Structure 1
């Protein structure tokens, strides 16, 4: 299983200047190569290399490996663009958006990620430093930091390339790691149903509800601040909004990590699998009032589902996805389904058998039962192949 770990670099001002110059040179070279690829219709590495390799090395002073990576990055960008065009992510052919996307060369930001292989980058894990190639020469002793658990994963399991990138003034190395998976529990005793919601981020069929008033108050404060800054629409307001958005995203990711860790630990401890909602199209399916739509759209439920899936995969816990349609209206005892069974956001009372339960807990029971039926019918445990964990 592949995991991606972000390692924070701590360069000195001189080292940071060299890294910045290197990143700018690599991305300028890649942008120029993209223009050549567009004009010459040379979008495969071997063909584009014939047109650009020598010029990139002479004009921008890139080393052999850096030039190769700049060319490959350009070709990968065009491959991704072609895939998105075929999938209709830019609209139908002939539309303005489709024409704009396909009718001009790809460009790269000055601080876009640049791949580094083992010839250009070496790690000294004991000293917590790296030796990295730059346009000013090989630069040794660049310090890095991170959580001990994550750095241990990098030291033991790093494979292949790492990407150098600058985000919000912070220098990062994004390392890809190959983690051995635990043996899958092919005979789970039962399934743990997980319902994702608005008031409670996640509710399990054991009755555990993950959110709480403190988190919801913070989410409300975030929405108010975001709305206030958008109304001001000044440069300082936009700058503060970007800064706060990063802080909010990091806090939400931390909460998702904690929730997913507890859910997977409970399933592993009791030798059960995990049944999750299929989240595809959740925004189109949900019919909610405007304040609830805002709450739904501002929480990264897909991220939470991915965290649960990859943690389960590393622990050998099977995961299945079920259709969540009508789980909030179906009685988990007699399976009578009616909209009036759900009296409010939190109350569920079956009109046929009289069963009373918290609405989200009842929905998680239905998800658990559907997960078990899907497993019995031959559903396969799935999890993302590549996940960002730090």
Structure 2
């Protein structure tokens, strides 16, 4: 009988040790983040084990867990009609507000979910809840695009899906079908979805054949470049969940169909070392010593090895493609972009991607609203919904939708 309490104590101690990780003292509601991170790490461990044993790709295991607990069918309510359909062969979930006057045209947002181009779905509970609330609060239409995922799809397929579905929706006949005002359509996304939203916005802005243009773009902690994995935010937050620094490099290589042995060279900036060919003009686009305010540069120093590994860029040329890395777009492309909202979080490796993009847009005379959360972390917006409610999650959603309401 005495062994049972001892075993219970031991198991509790082991569980506490596994769940607990040190976090900055300014992170919002740290225990909720620790629990979610522990669950994700557990699934990733299982995924890596299955992958190493040749049973399944690690990403399939992650997506199985996500789909098992998060994906749900379209559920309409009195305020929002929800339907699953396809735009130009791309699966989408459409949320339509039912609260409009007869003959009144609505606003619309095209939304792209996050997940490292490999995880997630427009049908996940968190994204369903977000888009449902957007449609209701904006009294508009939200099109959530279910683009294909790695490893089945690699760059540029995710981008192509996002662009094809967006172009389809922007057709006058389709906008008319959903009673949308052509001049009041925006594009938005979070994390990898923010990457796709930014890339699609650039293409639509420069496409003379597009009958409609986006009025706004709203980017939520977007990932925008893979040339410097040692920006101040990468150095500061490399061990902060949910998006660890090596995991971001892993996602990039999965997306761009690169060899995973390149993870360590990427993390060491070997692919952009001083002896690797890379123009001064190109380097300036990711030069955080010039693009970041001093308050974000802090005490960090650039990591620029004298000798590198040119093989990385030679075998993964998409690292330099603005469709994959929108921060690398030329200034004349940026100048055509619409009014922009960028949300960043202090405790996020991608913080500086958003800050640098905002600065480059401002230099191109684009109006930019920067919304920064000192207690925020990557993925915090989905913490606005059950079961992981958090203060910072609720604030990000409220301020994001308020900006859309004021500017769309």
Instruction: Give TM-score, length-normalised by structure 2.
Output: 0.21
Between the two structures, name the one with larger relative contact order (CA 8 Å, sep ≥ 6).
Answer: 1
Instruction: Pick the structure with more strand per residue.
Output: 1
